[in-house]
Chains A and B, each alone.
Chain A
């Protein structure tokens, strides 16, 4: 059974810092991995999706890497801003039909001005 872990559960950093959010998963047989952002009381915004054959994806100040063999992914946020404060969830998807997502509990990030 796939399990996704995100540690720590919460993180507080000063504005301007570069930071790394970690995600680990137990079963390396994944099709892709996706990072989402969730603001309090809101829905999910997809940030980056990495296929299992890829090593990384970039969008603006965000860079996500994937090491499938070791069961790890990182989300790198450059030059953090207060507007980056949110909960970041990672989710993995197995290959094949009936392909549901397995989520981690998320990391709640607070960027202090």
Chain B
């Protein structure tokens, strides 16, 4: 019974390149949340998705960032034209539902370094 999986665990990109981060939720979970942890900061919400739908993207930067959760396959967080300020740990969490009664389970994170 695998937990939430994220890959890659570490990703190095040069400025201007694209970064793709993947999140496979726990079996049976159809709700995914992405959080970002900047250096010396707590985790901050970015986006909440259900299968094929973006429910809340209020925490996403307006430009260069996008997320999807297709019917088949993992959720993808995509960052275009990365800049040094995008260097952070990106965590996803999955749950069986979006209501507060459903606990979120976190993956190990992807650490993005932009050089």
Residue ranges of A at the interface with B (Cβ–Cβ < 8 Å): 4, 31-32, 36, 41-44, 46, 49, 89, 91, 93-106
Given contacts A96-B99, A97-B98, A99-B100, whether A43 and B45 have CB atoms under 8 Å apart is: no
Q: Is the interface of A mostly helix, strand, loop or mixed?
A: loop
Contact partner of A105 (CB less than 8 A), chosen from B42, B48, B103, is B42
With A42-B108, A44-B91, A44-B106 in contact, is A100–B99 under 8 Å at CB?
Answer: no
- B33 in contact (CB, < 8 A): yes
A44-B91, A93-B100, A95-B100 are known contacts. Are A103 and B108 too (CB-CB below 8 A)? no
Other-chain contact of B99, A43, A49, A97, A105 (Cβ < 8 Å): A97
Cβ-defined contact, A100 with B106, below 8 A: no
What total of chain B residues lie within 8 Å of the partner, measured CB to CB? 27
B41 close to A105 (CB less than 8 A):
yes
Measured in the bound complex, the distance between the Cα atoms of B104 and A97 in whole Å is 13
Q: Do residues B45 and A100 form an inter-chain contact, with CB atoms below 8 A?
A: yes
Residue from the list B48, B91, B93, B101 in contact with A98, Cβ < 8 A: B48
Residues of A contacting B105 with CB < 8 Å?
A: 46
B:37-85 near A, CB below 8 Å: 40-45, 48, 55-56, 59
